[in-house]
Structure 1
Amino acid sequence: MTASQHTIAGTVLTMPVQIRKANQHMAMFSVDADAAQRMIDYSGLRVCRYLPGRAIVILMLMHYIDGDLGRYHEFGTSVMVNPPGSNASGPRALGSAGAFIHHLPVDQAFTLEAGTKIWGYPKVMADFTIREGRQFGFDCSVDGQLVVGMEFRRGLPIRLTPRQQAQRTYSYRDGVTRETSFEHTLDGVRNRFGGVRIWLGDHPYSKELASLGLPKRAMLNSSVEHVQMTFGDAQEIS
């Protein structure tokens, strides 16, 4: 079978897209499931209610260092959702859940075009301020307005998930919901319960995060020193 190709800004990308090196900082929050559902109702997907009345939202900063889409920062807001047609609930439902990508600001034009055209991700241009040191931190701003700022206390080298994983994300754009499968390998993983400070700005994205009850204590924060990823084509599901 011939691999599919996409032309982005004059560059031909042959699928699957390869990310050879990236690092990651992630925080997981337990939020009101009805509030999360209202936020993503437009997608046609249903949030995964891992506990009665509760859903999981993940805020993640990725720094892509070497890959087919170039070098860039990306901030994501994702909600854990059931596969289409599933009404599963309870802790075990998370095993089959995927991540619906609701916000995805980036700081480079090439990945913005690729992300929107190939996968239907909600990428917009943003500015990032990164703070290295004893505590990693960042600010993300869109159109000159602060969206979110976060600081992460360093975790311990405790692995809670397999080193190699196959997962899927969901996106919605131009009236179409899409599913994208990907594989990733994680090395240099550190985890910590809580350990996150978060603050919100005045951007409309900030108000959506506030509707979920943020800022609040994180369930978990995780950092990964070396991420490798492989993304296939998106599949339309509705």
Structure 2
Amino acid sequence: MTDHTLSSQHTIADTVLTMPVRVRTAYQHTAMFVVDADAAQRMIDYSGLRVCRFGKGRALVVLMLMRYEDTDLGQYYEYGTNVMVNPPETPQASGLRALQSAGAFVHHLPVDQSFTLEAGRTIWGYPKVMADFTVRKGRRFGFDVTIDGQRAVSMEFSPGLPVPSAFTSGRQVHNTYSYMDGVIRETAGEMLLSGVRYRPGGVEVRLGDHPYAAELAALGLPKRALMSSSAANVDMTFGNARLISQ
């Protein structure tokens, strides 16, 4: 297995990518859900990571859609199911304070372009699969994700309230975790958001008949979101993955 941690360049489909990868223009829609921690843990047990527990046996799951416009990986849509987990060095951390250091474990990550699929799987170990996306724009933003002819998930977002740029103008550092071929990887990304909107609830989730939908249903979805948000632009960089175990 190649250790990508030390590589400054990667060749994907005859294209050389120089790290860190840059996202200059993208938009996102996200929804955060409080779910049963035991159910979330069962879903990601295969990874060896532990969900971040807070309250009385609760965990956070974030569903999101990204539209990448101007990036080193090209233009594409991407849907993610992310579970907030403890860093491997503090697997048993719990409580609201633990959420401050939690990272997002990427459990589902369908995309609609082959180049980003190969790059994501090869460099970062992300579980990217090919999917079809139907996007609806208007007063409400909606999308469907279909994999192998089966609908996995649909979401409809109501507009949120604008957040003053003073609260979102700083660069944020987020860690994501992935698991593939017996290896846990940690990837740090820097993100600058603009045009941010938030609202309590604000999203409708509908599940289809793909196996991904059954996994989401096992978490208790669809249910009311804790919070939904959107960002008119996401400026982001992310480097090589750090191998945690193999």
Please point out which of 223, 226, 234 is paired with 2:230: 223
Question: Which deviates further from its counterpart, 29-38 or 155-164?
Answer: 155-164
Separation of aligned partners in 1, 2:142 and 2:96: 30
How many residue pairs match? The answer is: 237
Q: Which one of the candidate residues 213, 230, 244 is aligned to 1:206?
A: 213
What TM-score do the two structures reach when normalised by structure 1? 0.97
SS in 2 for 1:237: strand
Equivalent residue for 1:40, pick from 41, 44, 51: 44
Mapping for residues 61-100 of structure 1, pairs under 5 Å:
61-86=65-90, 87-100=92-105
**Cα displacement (A) at 1:59:** 0.2
Aligned to 2:17: 13
CA contact (8 A) 2:7 2:240 kept: no
Superposition misfits of 4+ residues, deviation over 4 angstroms: 159-162
Contact 1:57–1:80 (Cα < 8 Å) also in 2: yes
Aligned to 2:195: 188
TM-score, normalising length from structure 2?
Answer: 0.94
SS at match of 1:233: coil
Alignment of 1:21-170 (within 5 A): 21-86=25-90, 87-158=92-163, 163-170=170-177
**RMSD in angstroms over aligned alpha carbons?**
1.2
What whole-Å deviation, never above 9, does each CA across 1:140-188 have from its counterpart, x for those lacking one? 0100100000000000012676642011100000010100001000000
Identify unmatched segments of 5+ residues in structure 2: 1-5
Deviations 1:57-93 (A, max 9, x none): 0000000000000000000000000000312111111
Percent identical pairs in the alignment equals: 68
